[in-house]
Amino acid sequence: MTTIILLFYGLFNIFINADYILAAIQFGGMLIGIVIIVYFKLTNNIKITALVFAIVFLAILTSIIVVDRTDHYTMMWILLVPAISYFILGRIPGSIITALYIVFIIVLMTVISPILDGIAFDINIFINIIGVMAAVGLIIRYFELSRTESLDALSKVNDNLRRMSETDKLTLMYNRLKLDDVLEAEIMTTETSLKSLSVLMIDIDDFKSINDEYGHLQGDSVLVQAAFLLKKNVKEPCVIGRWGGEEFLVICRHCDVQAATDLG
């Protein structure tokens, strides 16, 4: 999109304004933009691509302002600086770049430009442009801050939901769903790497009689104690969880039958 815009204004400045210097700057920016796109397609390095794009954008914008600094309409393009800086570089680097660029424009238009051109810059237009630029920057900063906080909150909620979906509520161990996923992944790893894999099924004898004689609350207490003992005695890389009812599963990574038997 940026390259198309630069192409349009380059052609506009050639055939309408006859401003060949500006057209050359815009065509140069278009070619650099194409190089940046090709680089990103080849490397997928978004950080370097974003940084180079921001630098090139500011360089082209500055060149246009310096070349055409007596044209007040050109100054309107600096309103894009907060948006480009924030969305491409991030909130903190974007804030720094925007602030530095505002300072640069102030110095350029109030000190350097009058000296070079002998023309006093219209202070009213200048103040309005800088004011709008600062306001846009603050709005975008607030939006980015709110978006970041919302994404962080959503990430925490998703993490909690994920833990809940894979955790047995009573024993706080992995549940059947999570064990199925782990077991499937370990079987695939074993088939490709030829490493050992053993699985232990642990069952509490006569558990039904405990529930019948002492009640289900006491039976739950027995399950919790059994889970505690398993977690205490079974260490990584083994994965343990409640398979269902009074059954527990131990997935022994890189463990042959003899080692699993010793563990049992």
Tokens of 218: 């006491």
Give the relative orientation of helices 123-166 and 91-107 as an angle to the nearest 10 degrees: 170
Q: What pLDDT digit, counting tens, does each position of 159-200 carry? A: 889 899 999 999 999 999 999 999 999 888 888 887 888 888
Q: How far is CA 76 from CA 72, 134, 139, in A?
A: 8, 13, 18
pLDDT tens, position by position, 18-71:
888 878 888 888 898 888 889 888 888 888 888 888 888 888 888 877 777 556
Q: How confident is the model at residue 264 (pLDDT cuts 50, 70, 90)?
A: low
User: Which letter, b or e, does each residue of 175-198 get, where b requires 16 or more Cβ atoms within 10 Å of its Cβ?
Assistant: beebbeebbeebeeeeeeeeeebb
Residues making up the chain, counted from first to last:
264
pLDDT for res 144: 72
What is each CA distance from 138 to 98, 103, 127, 133, 238, in whole angstroms? 10, 16, 16, 9, 52
**What DSSP designation does 132 have?**
H
Element (H, E) at 3: helix 2-15
Task: Give tens-digit pLDDT for 61-119.
Answer: 888 777 775 566 677 777 788 888 888 888 788 888 888 888 887 777 777 666 555 55
> Residue 152 above 60 pLDDT?
yes
| pLDDT of amino acid 171 | 92
pLDDT in the model for residue 123? 67
Fold of the domain built from segment(s) 176-263: Alpha-Beta Plaits (3.30.70)
pTM across the whole model: 0.50
pLDDT of residue 259: 73
Domain boundaries, the chain: 2-160, 176-263
